[in-house]
């Protein structure tokens, strides 16, 4: 039987044609590395832009390698040759028209610029997507306060954030099944930063990946970690976020928009997030509250916990956590109401949800090898 802290969603193998950019997962977190390639051969301006992108991506990757080498205690050695890094950061030609690519690129740059000096809390940042978000924000020059339960991991992430350029970086260990701790994290941001610009709610508690076992107490416990702590932190942080005109970013899942098999407790908690935060967003509009709420609908991502838990059952490649983390942050900074990542694996199936639910169910089930589960 499978079990994990992290569950996913990524039920259907949709064509890749909606994927607007190719991204190499091993590329570090510099935003330039995530920007799409500017194509159009013969267009000298686009070519120059592309060369600048490559140069910045190369520099970004080298910085990351240096930090990793320093942390390993093996001295500052950048092992990749410029040629290797060039190959690593190279991106394929995209189908997008160059003008459209320029817009996407500009939006990336705007989001990055907006986050410099911002004060951000990230929960669940000792691993996976949360950890990657911390590194992106560090490179953007934000102040970060990260939290999770494992102090050793948090310490390492904070050290790396400082080396990557974070304006400041702190951690506070604790468990989100304790609402007093959830409030304490927010108070700590007030004490350390004197305010807050962005609250990123990302952590999830342990659950199983299997048929529902009838344990309703587990559902209640998971609701506390995955949902009630999110609501608690939001309420506690609102005065600071109102003062700064800030952002709340809620990391949910495709499983929080469409009920998926083998994830009954998890899916329940993610649906609760949609209900709470989508209602609250509407109320903010009525009340002229200048705080944005971004709900992130995420597909199957290549974090260790997700891959270890579901890869034997779900027949779909996992998307890169680095790019996923960047898209979440970007959506928050640009005050988008929802982020769909990967777009083709989340937004397109959503079109079927209300108009052809049976077809969607058929496609989802087709993508699950439940026999592999039984063999466990």
Ligand X SMILES: NC(=O)c1ccc[n+]([C@@H]2O[C@H](COP(=O)([O-])OP(=O)(O)OC[C@H]3O[C@@H](n4cnc5c(N)ncnc54)[C@H](OP(=O)(O)O)[C@@H]3O)[C@@H](O)[C@H]2O)c1
Q: Which positions touch ligand X (CB under 6 A)?
A: 5-6, 8-9, 124-130, 148-150, 153, 175-177, 202-205, 225, 251, 253, 298, 300-301, 303, 305-306
Strand pairing class (207-209; 2-4):
antiparallel
Supply the minimum distance, in Å, between the C-beta of residue 117 and ligand X: 25
Q: How far is the CB of 257 from ligand X (least distance, A)?
A: 11
Distance (Å, rounded) from C-alpha 100 to C-alpha 98?
5
Q: Based on CB atoms, which residue is closest to ligand X, 177 or 361? A: 177
The residues annotated as belonging to the active site are: 266
**Measuring CA to CA, which residue among 35, 170, 12, 107 is closest to residue 333?**
107
Compute the distance between CA of residue 236 and CA of residue 121 in angstroms, rounded to an integer: 13
Closest residue to ligand X using C-beta atoms: 128
Based on CB atoms, which residue is closest to ligand X, 27 or 250?
250
Instruction: Kindly tell me which of 20 and 153 has the beta carbon lying closer to ligand X.
Output: 153
Which helix (H) or strand (E) is 294 found in, with range?
A: strand 292-298
CB contact at 8 A, 258 and 311: no
The structure tokens listed for 1 are 């039987």
User: 141-164 in b/e burial notation, b at 16+ Cβ within 10 A?
Assistant: bbbbbbbbbeeebbeebbebbebb
CB of 321 to ligand X, least distance (A): 7
Cα 196 from Cα 119, distance rounded (Å): 5
Whose tokens are 């970013």? That residue is 249
**CB burial of residue 175 (10 Å; 0-12, 13-18, 19+):** middle
In eight-state DSSP terms, residue 368 is: B
Query: How does strand 338-341 pair with strand 143-148?
Result: unpaired
Nearer to ligand X, 91 or 307 (CB): 307
CB-nearer residue toward ligand X: 80 or 308: 308
E strands, 126-273, where? 143-148, 168-173, 198-201, 207-209, 247-251
Whole-number Å distance between alpha carbons of 287 and 242: 12
In the complex with ligand X, the residue whose CB is nearer, 89 or 158, is: 158
Residue 60 and residue 350: Cα distance in Å, rounded?
36
DSSP 145: E
Q: How far is the CB of 128 from ligand X (least distance, A)?
A: 2
User: Which of helix, strand or coil describes residue 164?
Assistant: helix
Q: How far is the CB of 149 from ligand X (least distance, A)?
A: 3
What is the three-class DSSP state of 284? Answer: helix
Output the six-digit token pair for 161: 């954030």
Residue with smaller CB distance to ligand X, 46 or 223: 223
d(CA 132, CA 258): 26
The least CB distance from residue 75 to ligand X, in Å, is: 29
Q: Name which of 53 and 166 has its Cβ closer to ligand X.
A: 166
CB of 241 vs ligand X, minimal distance in Å: 20
Q: How far is the CB of 111 from ligand X (least distance, A)?
A: 19
């Amino acid at each position: 039987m499978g079990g994990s802290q992290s569950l996913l969603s990524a039920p259907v193998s949709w064509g890749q044609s909606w994927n607007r950019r190719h991204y190499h997962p091993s590329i570090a977190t510099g935003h330039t590395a995530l920007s799409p390639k500017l194509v159009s051969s013969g267009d000298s301006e686009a070519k120059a832009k592309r060369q600048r992108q490559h140069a910045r991506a190369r520099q970004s990757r080298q910085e990351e390698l240096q930090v990793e080498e320093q942390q390993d205690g093996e001295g500052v050695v950048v092992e990749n040759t410029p040629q290797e890094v060039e190959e690593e950061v190279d991106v394929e030609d995209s189908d997008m028209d160059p003008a459209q690519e320029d817009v996407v690129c500009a939006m990336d740059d705007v989001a990055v610029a907006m986050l410099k000096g911002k004060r951000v809390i990230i929960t669940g940042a000792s691993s996976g997507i949360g950890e990657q978000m911390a590194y992106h924000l560090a490179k953007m020059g934000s102040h970060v306060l990260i939290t999770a339960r494992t102090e050793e991991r948090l310490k390492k992430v904070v050290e790396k954030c400082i080396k990557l350029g974070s304006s400041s970086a702190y951690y506070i260990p604790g468990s989100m099944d304790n609402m007093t701790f959830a409030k304490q994290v927010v108070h700590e941001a007030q004490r350390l930063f004197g305010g807050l610009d962005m609250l990123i709610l990302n952590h999830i508690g342990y659950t199983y990946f299997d048929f529902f076992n009838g344990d309703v107490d587990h559902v209640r416990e998971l609701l506390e970690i995955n949902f009630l702590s999110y609501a608690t932190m939001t309420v506690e942080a609102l005065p600071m976020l109102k003062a700064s005109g800030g952002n709340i970013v809620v990391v949910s899942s495709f499983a929080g928009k469409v009920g998926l098999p083998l994830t009954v407790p998890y899916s329940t908690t993610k649906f609760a997030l949609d209900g709470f935060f989508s209602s609250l967003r509407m109320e903010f509009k009525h009340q002229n509250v200048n705080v944005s709420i971004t709900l992130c609908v995420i597909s199957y991502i290549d974090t260790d916990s997700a891959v270890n838990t579901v890869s034997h059952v779900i027949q779909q490649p996992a998307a890169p956590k680095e790019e996923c983390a960047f898209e979440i942050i970007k959506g928050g900074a640009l005050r988008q109401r929802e982020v769909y990542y990967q777009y083709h694996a989340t937004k397109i199936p959503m079109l079927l949800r209300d108009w052809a639910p049976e077809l969607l169910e058929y496609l989802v089930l087709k993508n699950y090898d439940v026999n592999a589960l039984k063999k466990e």
